[in-house]
């Protein structure tokens, strides 16, 4: 899974501090997502980011290399 927060922030010209101030999320959470280093993300975090950027979850998170399992 890949987080596209840095792309969304670039389009809006927001810094990590801007996102922290506008969402109330911790700076470390925003920084981990920005650098695509987070290993998990809470539903509340997704909701706050999608609300801020007026986007869908698929604009924020992207699945990479998904293989289908044949039964």
Domains in the chain, start-ordered, CATH in brackets?
2-62 (1.10.260.40)
Query: Could you give the CA distance from residue 68 to residue 4 in angstroms, rounded to a whole number?
Result: 23
For the chain, give the mean pLDDT: 92
Q: Each residue of 13-42: pLDDT tens digit? A: 999 999 999 999 999 999 999 999 999 999
Q: Are 61 and 1 in contact (CB under 8 A)?
A: yes
Query: Where is pLDDT greater, at 36 or 65?
Result: 36
pLDDT score at 63: 85
Between β-strands 61-62 and 2-3, what pairing exists: parallel, antiparallel or unpaired? antiparallel
Helices (H), the chain: 5-12, 16-23, 27-34, 43-53, 57-60
């Amino acid at each position: 899974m890949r987080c596209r927060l840095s792309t969304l922030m670039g389009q809006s010209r927001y810094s990590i501090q801007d996102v922290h101030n506008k969402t109330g999320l911790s700076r470390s959470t925003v920084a981990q997502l920005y650098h695509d280093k987070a290993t998990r993300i809470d539903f509340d975090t997704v909701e706050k980011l999608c609300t801020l950027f007026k986007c869908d979850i698929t604009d924020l998170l992207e699945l990479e290399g998904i293989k289908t399992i044949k039964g």
